[in-house]
Amino acid sequence: MAEVVHMIDSEVFLAFSTYATIVTLKMMLMSPLTSYFRLTRKAFANMEDTSLDMSKEDKKKLVRVDPDVERVRRCHQNDLENVIPFLVIGLLYALTGPQLSSALLHFRVFVVSRFCHCVAYLAPLPQPSRALCFVVGLLSTFSMSYRILTTALYL
Amino acid sequence: MAEVVHMIDSEVFLAFSTYATIVTLKMMLMSPLTSYFRLTRKAFANMEDTSLDMSKEDKKKLVRVDPDVERVRRCHQNDLENVIPFLVIGLLYALTGPQLSSALLHFRVFVVSRFCHCVAYLAPLPQPSRALCFVVGLLSTFSMSYRILTTALYL
Amino acid sequence: MAEVVHMIDSEVFLAFSTYATIVTLKMMLMSPLTSYFRLTRKAFANMEDTSLDMSKEDKKKLVRVDPDVERVRRCHQNDLENVIPFLVIGLLYALTGPQLSSALLHFRVFVVSRFCHCVAYLAPLPQPSRALCFVVGLLSTFSMSYRILTTALYL
């Protein structure tokens, strides 16, 4: 019993909180970035987002797809698909009581890989840089999943 | 040690559970709403979703993009991009042991902002009503992130 | 106090960890599956993803939309929209201290429904098989939400 309490109070859990918050903030910043690209590229998703002093015809022209906006949105979507699983798996992993050094390694590798992924996607850097960042993040999450399933399997 | 247990058992955690469940249910209800619009607008994403007693040609015509369906889907996507970070950040925030009044303020502001965002998106209300709801929700999550990083930073 | 600790240490929480990890891994495997379809169908989202020894004209032709790729992506999106709410609601539900048998029923029904949903989407099986899997998963999550709100309501 004391063991469990120790886990939540532990440095592993503090480290998880810190890295989870950082990577979630990074993911959330993709929303304002999308808005920024929509405004500068003048490519909106809704009629009501265009400025008020325009004719209906002009407004319709601004509801369009822009390649730069779509790139940011794909990057955001990839974050949703990878960061959120990390947050859940990371939380459960932190509760299995891993070594602090091992946990820090997993969290740091994942967070760094996602920042690099974002740069590689938006620059864009030539492949396979983006694919590599993606795979490194995936492997970190898989490795934590493996630990959860080997220490706490209950089907 | 007793402190940590207190946190999970506390009114802050109960409040988080309540508001997190409500806002998650709201987000999940976007799925049936999308189905409803797909059925009434007769705009499907898959061939097999169209009714059975139709020729292949007629079916193909129903696999199309409808502006109302896309609006609901964008609203759902915006929920995914904002509600899920709130759920993770809110959980970690609740574990940092904040004042009950402060926690309730954060949770209530966020949940109300998301309901208003949904109404503003689907009505649609003229801007900047939707943008305002979005920003208020974002600020609530950022404020909780700030508290996590200032009370529990461990890099 | 002892009660709360018991909850986190309990078989219910172990069961949640196990099923949450399994269904998260399933969701994450949609990413490599999308890549696989993109490579075999030669339908990419970014110019830099196409092979290097091509003229710019040929590359542009490969940045296109393919129905099979889109199907996998819709399946992945549906997972995001349903699995993530389950992960959050399931965690809070596990902390309300439900009966082990009841919790296992919820977790198993949900996880099986999502695997069936994936098969029904990708095969694709005729409707209403996919709709049925979707609704069963939704009901499991709604039932857990009901328990959270009835045992721990704090507005």
Tell me whether residues B74 and A2 touch, CB distance under 8 A. Answer: no
Please answer yes or no on whether A92 and C15 come within 8 Å at the CB atom: no
Which residue in the block uniquely carries the two structure tokens 């058992």? Answer: B9
pLDDT band at A26 (very low <50, low <70, confident <90, very high): very high
**What pLDDT band is residue A3 in, cutting at 50, 70 and 90?**
very low
The answer to whether A66 and A37 have CB atoms below 8 angstroms apart is: yes
- In 3-state terms, chain C is what percent helix, strand and coil (to 5)? 80, 0, 20
- Per-residue pLDDT of B89-132, as tens digits, reads 999 998 888 889 999 999 999 999 999 999 999 988 887 888 99
How crowded is the C-beta side of B18, counted as CA atoms within 13 Å?
16
Whole-number pLDDT of residue C2: 40
Residue C146: the pLDDT is: 94
CATH 3.20.20.120 fits A1-152, yes or no: no
Name every chain C residue with its beta carbon within 8 A of the beta carbon of A149: 18, 21-22
- Mean pLDDT score of chain C: 86
* Model confidence at C58: pLDDT above 80: no
The dihedral sign for the CA sequence B41, B47, B53, B56: positive
pLDDT for A44: 83
**How do residues C108-128 score in pLDDT, each as one tens digit?**
999 999 999 999 999 888 878
- On the question of pLDDT at C103 being above 60, the answer is yes
Give me the residue spans of the domains in chain C. Answer: 1-152
> DSSP letter at C125?
P
Residue C139 has pLDDT above 50, yes or no: yes
Task: Convert the pLDDT of each residue in A63-106 to its tens digit.
Answer: 888 888 889 999 999 999 999 999 999 999 988 888 899 999 99
Confidence band (pLDDT; 50, 70, 90) for A1? very low
Give the mutation candidate from A117, A148, A149, A150 for the C interface (greatest C CB count, under 10 A): A148
Q: Which of A130-139, B37-46, C96-105, C139-148 has the lowest mean pLDDT?
A: B37-46
Question: Taking 60 as the threshold, does the pLDDT of residue C14 lie above it?
Answer: yes
What is the Cα A55 distance to its own chain's centre? Answer: 39
DSSP string, A81-108: HHHHHHHHHHHHHHHT---HHHHHHHHH
**Structure ipTM:** 0.88
- pTM metric for this prediction: 0.90
Residue entry with tokens 């806002």? B23
Count of CB atoms situated within 10 Å of the CB of A44: 19
In angstroms, the Cα distances linking A105 to A112, C76, C89 are 11, 28, 29
Chains B, C: CB contacts within 8 A come to 75
Contact between chains at A71 and C46 (C-beta distance less than 8 A): yes
pLDDT at B48: 80
